[in-house]
Each structure stands twice: as C-alpha cells, then as structure tokens.
Amino acid sequence: MNRSEFIAAYGGIYEHSPWVAERVQPLLGDQRPDTRTLARLMADCVDNASEKTQLELIRAHPDLAGKAQIAGELTADSTEEQSRAGIDQCSADEFDRFQALNEAYKKKFGFPFIKAVRESNRTEILQAFETRLENDYDTEFETALLEIHKIARLRLNAMEQG
C-alpha cells in the first residue's frame, strides 16, 4: 500500500486528523500491518505528539448530540457511532441534558467531552458525562486521549471486519 492509498484508507481513523496516518505511514513502507499493530503505532504517534497537537486532536471531535449532528455535519464514522449509541433518538429532555452537559464540560475543560460511544447507550453516556465533570483538567485530558485511542481501535476493527 503506497503513501496516498494508506492515507486515503486510514486518514480518518483519528477524527479530522490525517496527520496521524501521515506520520505512521513512513514507519510501514509499503507493508500493510495487522490491525493491532496499526492501532499501537497510531496511538504511539498521538502519545508522542506535543501537548498542543494533542489538544488540537481532542478539539477536532464533535460534541455528542451537538450542533454538528443537528446540521448533518458529522463524519460518517461519528454519525454511525452516535447512532449506534441511540444519541439520534434522544427525547427532548435527554437532548437538553446533552446540551447542558456539553456546555458545562467545555466551559470547565476547554475541549469537548470525548467518549467511545459505539458500545454504549445514552444513559451510560450521560452518567459518564456527569461523573467526569467532577475530574480535574489533567485527568480529563488523559481520559480524552484514552477514549480517542479506543475510538480509533474500534474504527480499525470495523474496517477489518468490512
């Protein structure tokens, strides 16, 4: 797999951050790694990026049940993930709660709440939101990166399964 093919295939694994695939591809040359190896290499790339670059990656993620979803501006992966979690089926009260929690979270931390929602439901997500609002900045920054890596692994697994 050449560079352009690799970036076309894997550039969206990390939300709006093709730089991850761009930095990993030279490590692989033309070989196509197994999913586990690729997930590890991509995570290492993010973990070794500057804190500023990591923050930009975190901020590249959409709010859950946010304006991008309403406007139909989510990536295909984010749309599918939020749909699987039932976020597109929110009651008016749940939607209002998501909006209030998104606002409170961004006000406190300066970045959106990140959770790998593919294997969650609305109730679990809202509970996690409320629990994590009690954390400090450093804990949430690290948690956001861990959740982003989980999202990436789930996306890579979904690609592998076809």
Question: Torsion angle of alpha carbons 127, 80, 161, 4, nearest 10°?
Answer: -120
Tokens standing for residue 62:
């959409």
Catalytic residue among 58, 61, 82, 85: 61
Q: Any idea what the Cα angle at residue 84 is, between residues 132 and 121, rounded to 5°?
A: 40
Catalytic (active site) residue 61: yes
| Cα(133)–Cα(34) distance, integer angstroms | 36
- Residues labelled as active-site residues: 61
